[in-house]
Structure 1
Amino acid sequence: MVNRRCSTRDLWIAVTLILAPLLFLCERFLDLPVALYVKTHLYGNRTWSTLTANLPDLLAVLVVVVTCIAFTLYWSRIKRGIYDPLTSFARLVSWATPVSYLVKNMLKWSFGRVNTRLWVCKPDLYGFHWLHGSSGFEGFPSGHMLVASTILACFWRFFPGSRTFCLLLAFVLGVALLATNYHFLSDVIAGLYFGLLTEEIAFHLLVREPRRLGLPAF
Structure 2
Amino acid sequence: MSRLAPLLDLLAAAGRAVTALGRRWPLAAAALWCLLAALLSYLLFDRFVALWFKQHLPGSNWEGFFKIVTTLGLGGVWLIPPPLLWLACRWQQARAAYGDEAGRWRRRADALLYFFLTVALSGLFVDAVKVVVGRYRPRALFEQGLYGFHPFSAHWAINSFPSGHSQTIFAAMMALAVIVPRYNRAWLLLAALVAFSRVATSVHYLSDVIMGSYIGICAALLMHRAFRARGIEVRLGACPCNRTRRTAG
Quote the Cα distance in structure 1 between the aligned partners of 2:111 and 2:135: 34
2:192 aligned residue: 171
- Amino acid paired to 2:36: P
2:239 aligned residue: none
Quote the Cα distance in structure 2 between the aligned partners of 1:8 and 1:199: 20
* Correspondent of 2:213 among 166, 169, 192: 192
Shift in CA distance, 199/57, structure 1 to aligned 2, threshold 3 Å = closer
Q: What pairs up with 1:1-218 in 2 under 5 angstroms?
A: 10-43=25-58, 45=59, 59-72=74-87, 74-76=89-91, 79=94, 80=96, 81-82=102-103, 86-123=108-145, 125-205=146-226, 207-210=227-230
8 Å CA contact 1:71, 1:94 repeated in 2? no
SS at match of 1:141: coil
1:3 aligned residue: none
Cα-to-partner distance string for 1:23-78 (whole Å, 9 max, x where unaligned): 110110011110010111124x49987995xx979824324323324533553465
Q: How far did 1:177 drift?
A: 1.1
Shift in CA distance, 14/160, structure 1 to aligned 2, threshold 3 Å = same
* Aligned positions, number: 203
Quote the Cα distance in structure 2 between the aligned partners of 1:50 and 1:152: 23
Q: Mark the runs of 5 or more structure 1 residues left unpaired by the alignment.
A: 1-6
Quote the Cα distance in structure 1 between the aligned partners of 2:168 and 2:73: 12
Shift in CA distance, 57/149, structure 1 to aligned 2, threshold 3 Å = closer
1:4 aligned residue: none
Shift in CA distance, 76/10, structure 1 to aligned 2, threshold 3 Å = farther
Quote the Cα distance in structure 2 between the aligned partners of 1:78 and 1:50: 43
Shift in CA distance, 57/137, structure 1 to aligned 2, threshold 3 Å = farther
Quote the Cα distance in structure 1 between the aligned partners of 2:124 and 2:23: 24
Q: How far did 1:209 drift?
A: 2.4
Quote the Cα distance in structure 2 between the aligned partners of 1:58 and 1:146: 8
Instruction: Using structure 2 for the length normalisation, give the TM-score.
Output: 0.70
Sequence identity (%): 23
Quote the Cα distance in structure 2 between the aligned partners of 1:139 and 1:14: 24
Quote the Cα distance in structure 2 between the aligned partners of 1:164 and 1:50: 25
Q: Compare CA radii of gyration and give the structure with the larger one.
A: 2
2:6 aligned residue: none
Quote the Cα distance in structure 1 between the aligned partners of 2:27 and 2:84: 30
Instruction: Using structure 1 for the length normalisation, give the TM-score.
Output: 0.79
